[in-house]
Structure 1
């Protein structure tokens, strides 16, 4: 048979076979068809009933003319096409049936129901279907034969008949069942919708649905609204709802997902979102997915957004990663089942591997030192529960071959795959530590070979370190206490200045001889208070100094006779001075006071007998001191000091002397003075071995100046204009009165603002005399600076109870508080360049001795301070009592034996016996004697009740003194 006329049978289907271009189908050109396909198709075409041949994996459909009538308007398009394309609505059924036939099975269906489109309208159809497999000439099943008998008319007629018969019977029942079903379905649907809405709204991850190409918000749950700060986004395009996303690539990403229909999964995506106030954005890190939602035809109509905010976790990982990278700590993840490893960049750098090198456990073992490979994880995997527990071993770097030490630590972690072992760990380079340890081991081996003397040296060095640390702590403590002492001294000096100025003004006003004596006593007390304040300022390193170039040998030589008298006959004083002694720059008076203070302390430590050595020597450059110094040392042969006392030697108000024997400010003053002079002070002492105090003062250039001649006793005055500035009204009042008494024209200002107003008014001011501690908007430094601008010709002089800080011009003259009339007059005159008209000062009158008055009590006053003693006697005389004085307890006991005394009025702190001891001895010999104890400790002193003694706290006034006398006079023993 010729291929050109096959198939030979007639009919429309056979003609289609012959004319169709089969090369465009899965069967290929007609002349390439196998004989088995030709034979089967010939039988189908000639069959009197409708038959179909389905051939090949593509399920190509070929049928005869009878089947073409069943296909109706699908014919001839369905001829030669796939079954799926021909009958898409029946594809699920056809796929199962033909898969069974191609598997060698037969299928028979009676009155099979289908809904098929005919003439463009879906219609119910029924068929009897017979399916059998079709094999080729090799017995391989390549197709399926199907006989199709349309039973639609019969089934329709039967069903219509049955339907009509049952219709009336079941109508009501069907309607009721339908109603109940609909109600149940509605209830279930409502419940399901509520559940789904709640589930969507309360989901922990944020979710939203964006509809259309403009991505309009259709849905958004609570988590999503929290993420966007509860902004009103519903119904708005995302570009309008979240405008801050512009330029962050989010809009473009949504457009791409909508256009391409491909989902997007983002991990650790940085997004800047509005923080809620509309003024700033905050960084959020998100994991999310954009899932396109599609119609049945595959067209995207919306995007489902779902994700979680991982900001906290991501930032923690970021901090951990930065910490690991900064600390060069490498991390690794090891899977022993496969030998694979995931390592960090820092881990690669430690081992010297290139970024693109695949890391495996065996690769690492190859680079471990052969002697240490037993410590590696793979070698310990069998016998150890944790094969990557802490270990230190050597490796050879992959890039340079250099041997390095690394430390590794890790543990087993649960894997995501069941039964798979997984280990996590870290590694870090410890080569430098190992080298240090090796050096230390070598040093220890060397130290073991040394004798005990070297071990003691190590101990001494260790003790030196502790001593240095203690010295640092001591320095911090002294600095803090010094600041407190400076503030106290400053305020105290202001008070003393007011008292001193008023006392001098009283002298100038003219007073009687008796009052003049009291004023003189008060002035002496002010001077003692000024000395105490000076000691506080010296300790605080805020004392105004007048340093000059000084040769310490000459200074000590000038003090030699004073030192000999102070030490007494039983103490040998030796002065040792090296040749070529350098000069220093120091305040001579303060240094002399410091030397005398230390010498007296040494005398007390030697109990009046021993040796005192004063050494002077150059101290060349020392790293601990920084530069050349001159060392002044004072060594005594006294009792020495234990460490617990030595540690407190410079503490203010600390003393080992008995109460009343010292203020505890002597060594504090020395310490502050030396530090303020740029020097250092060191003390070495042991119990029973004496004490050495070494003072190091910086070497100074220049020549020693000869001491100036004594100043003229005349008090200078003048007629210039002086502006006095001080925030204390009492200081201004007294200072103004003194200066006016010296002939000057005086202007006053209570603060910096008032002073600037006067300077800017045009009034001529020759001298600005201002206190340093100036409150208000304009401090002293600002006042000085603006004065130089407003009135360049005005001289400036400062007054202060403490040394100013470094911000003040060192060329400005400083008058320390408290100052007297003469000091103020000479300082002011020096500002104007020379003497003027002298002002004669009226001399103070001496204190007159009081005669006993027999009308009152006979009182013995015991006080070692002469001024205080005389003042107490005068107060008692003013009260009508007969009073006499004694300077010591020992002298008082002798007087009590010689005279009849009613009341013993004694200070608690006396140089010999204390006031308490004196009172006890006196009352033992004279039981009727009454005692008043004057105490500078205030009310802290306690005495037994009905003891015949009373405590009078210092300072006391006349009424308090009178009440104390009345109290003891009426007290019975």
Structure 2
């Protein structure tokens, strides 16, 4: 049989209470109930309500009581009987006493929101009912006696109504206490005895049946953790205690393993009418998970800083308005300035005076337009020398396209710039000897090699950062699922409250539950999915850049026929055709070639013009030691100003009504360059585009381009 510590909760109440399970079996009652019914506890426990208090099934009182209880079970809402006649068996079988009652039947729910019990609160209104009848049947319809009886009746009726309102308010407050999202408990006396605890508190400590027990007996594991001392201090001083992210180790259920939790809580003293502390009210929230989506973020930031400080590039970041607020350690080592001295707009003072106005103008233009920052300028080195560096920056945007941050790098190209300047001067004056030219070419090649190494370092950096970004992202996605689960529970509780009393729901609560919360969770979910796709794409691009090429003879007609088969469905949907004209074969890396042509054909299909049948043609020819391939379409076309931008990472052209992350063409250009070739585009808006790919007819392992 189901049990509940009913007596401990209601023993002190002067009002009669009885607890029924859903089969209407009596599982608990208080002393006041035994008094008014003149029964013993052992005579009632475990018996059906109508067996313990028999009545004629055809009587109106029997039908009235059963109907009310069945309505509570069926509709899971409270029901009230303002007046019901129900005789009480007298002790020792001496017959029945006619009694009149007012009853309230309230459903009770468990932690999962399932209805488990019915609480019956009864009020004996027999004398009030008799007084009412007397007032109605008195032979003195007027005069002092009638006035006195009428006044007495009104007073009695007012008392009954006040008691009923008080009972309803008490039940409502108890329901709110039990269903509150934060944990709450009340402690009485200097020994801190539990007098009540809500569901959230019991779930936190992992045990039940703590009412009536001192804290040191109910939670022995907290004795040595200082919490009893805190309670004693609050009780004797009358001053509340507020704790933030307090660590506590709790023993769950009957096991010996203790679980670490972090809590925000308040110990609030409770004062009696004489102003003395009679107990302590405990209220708080479990912030363990928040303390952990924070530790994880801190560790992720530390890893990012460690990585950023380990590479040779000078890395910096700004706010959307261009205010510099981060530099890696390499910046300070390179420039020799104190940390923080170049924050804000002070960075411009690090440039050569002849470059400051130009650099500042380019930066202002990028801030206004959101275009990538790309410039060469002279930066003051810690030695006092101004050295040429390549400055680049990219804006990071949110879901609505608003710029959230700028991330940039500075790469020392001083030696390369000097070599280029020197080489240009030698050509202009034609005074350099062949030996000097070879020396300069050697310097240039050495710098190119160093830049290639730097590029490889950046690829590894992109891979590591993208990989580390997935760790907190996975946590965010997991906690989003938990939020969605919590949302369902909140919505169910919200529906129950709305059915019970819609006046309890303010417009702000209604908007928060019905609109704001689903919108926020949906935004988090869509943002994490988009970020996950982007990280995967970056990881794929980074891995592809490090893959070893494997040259093999490739039948281009066969390869493109397979490509046509893979897009056959999209071609059919768009009433388009893919023509494969005569093509020269080549010896190259098959996977790279498949990805190059796959991306270009997919883009051609994706951006066909909706007003005419689509036509895509692939053709090729030999050109010395190279082969030239052209992919032509009659699609939307590309604005000439975007011819170079479309090959940049995360950049796209035209109306963005197709899915994509802006990585495809950047990946294609990187692959073409690795194979030792080039790619370019020519196009006219509204007419179509031609992508031209030039590749060596044959590559070997030793000829792989960086």
TM-score, structure 1 as length reference: 0.23
Q: Comparing both structures, which one devotes a greater share of its residues to helix? A: 2
Larger Rg: 1
TM-score, structure 2 as length reference: 0.30
